[in-house]
Amino acid sequence: MAIDPNKHPMPTQAPEERAHNFREVALGYTLEVAREEASRCLNCKNQPCVKGCPVGIHIPQFIQALRKGEIEEAYQIISLTSSLPAICGRVCPQETQCEQQCTLGIRYEPVGIGRLERFVADWHNEHSTEAPQKPESNGHRVAIVGSGPSGLTCAGDLAKKGYQVTVFEALHTAGGVLVYGIPEFRLPKAIVAREVETLKALGVDIETNVIIGKTLTVDELFEQGYEAVFIGSGAGLPNFMGIPGESLKGVYSANEYLTRSNLMKAYRDDADTPIMKGGSVAVVGGGNVAMDAARTALRLGAEHVYIVYRRSMEELPARREEVEHAEEEGIDFRLLCNPVEVLGWNDPENPRDPKNGFVKAMRCIRMQLGEPDASGRRRPVEIPGSEFTLDVDTVVIAIGTSPNPLIKSTTEGLEVNRRGGIVINEDGLTSRKNVYAGGDAVTGAATVISAMGAGKTAAAAIDKALCGEQN
Amino acid sequence: MNKILVRRELNPTVTLLTVEAPLIARKAEPGQFVIVRPDAEGERIPLTIADFDREAGTVTIIFQIVGATTEKLNHLMEGGCVQDIAGPLGRATHTEGLKKVAVVGGGVGCAIAYPVAKKLFEQGAEVHAVAGFRTKDLVILEDEFAAHSTLFCRMSDDGSWGEKGLVTDALKQLIEAGNQYDEVITIGPLIMMKFVCAITKQYGIKTVASMNPIMIDGTGTAA
């Protein structure tokens, strides 16, 4: 049988429909389609895809099980190395990881590994009746700071080995960036909640509304009897551009905008949480967060949404699939443009005009690409005299985030690099004894899967440190 | 979920809640705030810590009803619970080494000024408290200020409470009467704080004004 050169397309909600609701865009494969896609896998011996996966999922094995219709077996194979398959199957940038390495991809489209992972995880979640067993305690206590992907993974791995694990979360809901950052239409919150419930069933204690560095310090955790601490506090500090007008009303960091919509549920009609809805919205930046913010704005009722990005489509760091989805939904990409000033309403004749102090427009300048910079991408340079104005009511700045500084400033002897990332060794150990770290708190904003990998590495190292080699 | 032990309406639009929050009470300092969410559906809002009791494990917040979230908060009753409270956040007001201080509060800003006055008073400083309100009906924390200051100037715009006039009138009089302050701490409407600063600048007195930022997570990440 000849190999189908193309991946089986992912069924999605129609663009015109989904642009007005917050339900998940991608609907997932059926069993039949999943098995057909699985049959595209060449099951090659050298398994290049596995090398492309930050946690080394046994990809050909799970795909072969799926091909035979052994879905639960496929799930168990994924579970050997990955803790959050339903999440990673949705948000991993497979096109630059496993799928980029796929042998089939040399001539054709690679196997849709992410879509298959998602199918297997969803099937398991729907059909499995097996309740997680709480393992016997080994008497050791570990504290995890932050309940994002690195913290949840570290907590899960340690709990399975019998550690008494407490996860401290600063916000009111566990999940970190998976709940405050990634919107419902890309990652339904019920999936995250399910992962958290599984951890609780394993005996993990989750304490929300506890801000480590304020409510309790890392040192106090040791005083309370925790023997090791893992810091997975993420990168929640938004970067701004430093241009005039950024403090006008209607200018948000993507972090605030998405937190209001996702975590504080402003996307729902019955929510109290204020957020600017409707009008014209400009989102500055070209990453996944920028796409999330732009598509959220559209769903909140914006009439026109721009993505303003200083490089070209080729350099856009967002996942290709997200960019395509955004384009289909009608997001207006203004590439090779950079904001120079946010302009506000100001009527001196009528100082009581309620519009005063709010955003009116954004001045931008056109850019062209020059020589490659340190990152290897061609450096954008301004084209003199090319300024123009976009009339907008809301501006969302999505140009990246930095590690949260709170723990560094309250933990003596914890070394960070010049970007604020916590310095660790290959085991995830920081400059402080028995204090480990991983995820965005170390790397700055990166991917869910790499944070998960860091959580696993640290869990193994903590186990070795507390229980020695016998495990 | 944190239990509400005391609920008191201080004036028609300002309410006080004392809630159980032992971890926060253990660390709280004047000038810090907490993040509060009245119920599971709503917004997270920052509110200044108006008082705390480390032994009882309680934290007191005072809020003005200005929108949907504070309206909901106002509907919670004694014996009920706030959904979430997290903190303490922000930097504590610096009080160390201060011997003589004027604490100037305006309107609901007095709720923030009070714990500062209390801490200074308890550490033995001479505290001149100046509180200003539009009218008598809006006065809050009168007894608390009186009990934690060496001198308490009551000011109202219409003269229905204390002296008729602005807090800046009282402050100016105190300075001109020869009081030498190590620092003036002012909390209230922006325009009031601006005029307080204008006066203290004339006399070269160090002044600390309190800004209440808009934020959502309170972990130093919001704009």
| Model confidence pLDDT, tens digit, residues B76-90 | 999 999 999 999 998
Q: Identify which of A24, A113, A80, A73 has the alpha carbon closest to the alpha carbon of residue A295.
A: A24
Number of domains in chain B: 2
Cβ-based neighbour number of residue A88 at 10 Å: 26
Closest CA to A82 of A141, A124, A45, A138: A124
Residue B222 lies in a domain: no
pLDDT band at B61 (very low <50, low <70, confident <90, very high): very high
B110 and B189 within one domain: yes
Residue B95 placed within a domain: no
Q: Would you state the structure tokens that stand for residue A397, as one six-digit string?
A: 């700045």
Task: State whether residue B218 sits within 8 Å of chain A by CB.
Answer: yes
pLDDT at A128: 86
Q: Which of B83, B106, B74, B82 is nearest to B8 (CA)?
A: B74
Specify the amino acid at residue A172. H
Residue B84 sits in the same domain as residue B104: no
CATH number at B63 reads 2.40.30.10
Domain hosting residue B188, numbered range: 100-212
* Nearest CB neighbour to B23, from listed A208, A216, A238: A216
Length of chain B equals 223
The pLDDT of residue B217 is above 60: no
Same domain for B108 and B157, yes or no, is: yes
In this structure, is residue B219 part of a structural domain? Answer: no
Tell me whether residue B80 is in a domain: yes
B23 contacts on A by Cβ (under 8 Å)? 210, 215-216
CATH code, B145: 3.40.50.80
Q: Are residues B42 and B131 in the same domain?
A: no
**pLDDT given at position A141:** 98
Pair (B118, B41) in one structural domain: no
Residue B29 lies in a domain: yes
Q: Is residue B59 part of a domain?
A: yes
CA distance linking residue B161 with residue B151, whole number of Å: 16
Assign A471 a pLDDT band (cuts: 50, 70, 90). Answer: very low
> Mind telling me how many Å the CA of B68 is from chain A's nearest CA?
6
**pLDDT tens digits, one per residue of A272-284:** 787 888 899 999 9
State the best of B1, B34, B43 to mutate against chain A, taking most chain A CBs within 10 Å.
B43
Chain B residues within 8 A of A214 when measuring between CB atoms: 27, 87-89, 219
Amino acid (1-letter code) at residue A66? L
Answer whether residue A417 shows pLDDT above 50. Answer: yes
**Do B154 and B195 lie in a common domain?**
yes
| Average pLDDT of the residues in B80-109 | 93
Q: Is residue B18 part of a domain?
A: yes
pLDDT at residue A384 in the model: 96
CA atoms within 13 A on the CB side of A277: 14
Q: Are residues B104 and B207 in the same domain?
A: yes
Distance separating alpha carbons of residues A66 and A111, to the nearest angstrom: 13
Same domain? For B208 and B105 the reply is: yes
Span A319-366, pLDDT tens digits: 999 999 999 999 999 999 999 999 999 888 888 888 889 999 999 999
Q: Could you say which of B68, B89, B110 is where a domain stops?
A: B89
Give the strands of the sheet with B58-64, arranged side by side: B81-82, B2-11, B14-20, B58-64, B45-53, B33-37, B84-89
**What does the pLDDT read at residue A132?**
79
For residue B21, pLDDT over 50 is answered with yes
First to last CA, chain A: 47
Task: Tell which of B89, B123, B140 closes a domain.
Answer: B89
pTM for the model stands at 0.89
> Rounded to the nearest 5 degrees, what angle is found at the Cα of B47, between the Cα atoms of B42 and B49?
140
The pLDDT-based confidence of A142 (bands split at 50, 70, 90) is very high
Whether A469 shows a pLDDT value over 90: the answer reads no
Residues B174 and B202 in one domain: yes
Compute CA distances A326 → A116, A276, A298, B174, whole Å: 23, 20, 10, 63
Q: Tens of pLDDT along B32-49?
A: 999 999 988 878 888 989
Please tell me whether residues B143 and B74 are part of one structural domain. no
Based on the domain organization, do B185 and B122 belong to the same domain? yes
pLDDT of A263 over the 80 cut: yes
CB-based contact (8 Å) between B78 and chain A?
A: no
pLDDT at residue A468 in the model: 82
Beta strand pairing status for B163-164 and B183-187? unpaired
Taking residues A462-469, report their average pLDDT. Answer: 89
Q: Is residue A118 over pLDDT 50?
A: yes
Q: Which residues of B touch A270 (CB under 8 A)?
A: 41
Residue A266 has pLDDT above 90, yes or no: no
Q: pLDDT-derived band of residue A241, with 50, 70 and 90 as boundaries?
A: very high
Rg, C-alpha atoms of chain B = 17
Q: Which of B46, B63, B89 is the last residue of a domain?
A: B89
pLDDT (average), residues A99-106: 95
B60 and B163 co-located in one domain:
no
DSSP assignment of A331-351 equals -EEEESEEEEEEEE---TT-T
Q: Which residues of B138-155 are buried (b: 16+ CB within 10 A; e: fewer)?
A: bbbbbebbeebbeebbbb
Q: Most B CBs within 10 Å: which of A243, A267, A272, A407, as the mutation test of the B interface?
A: A272
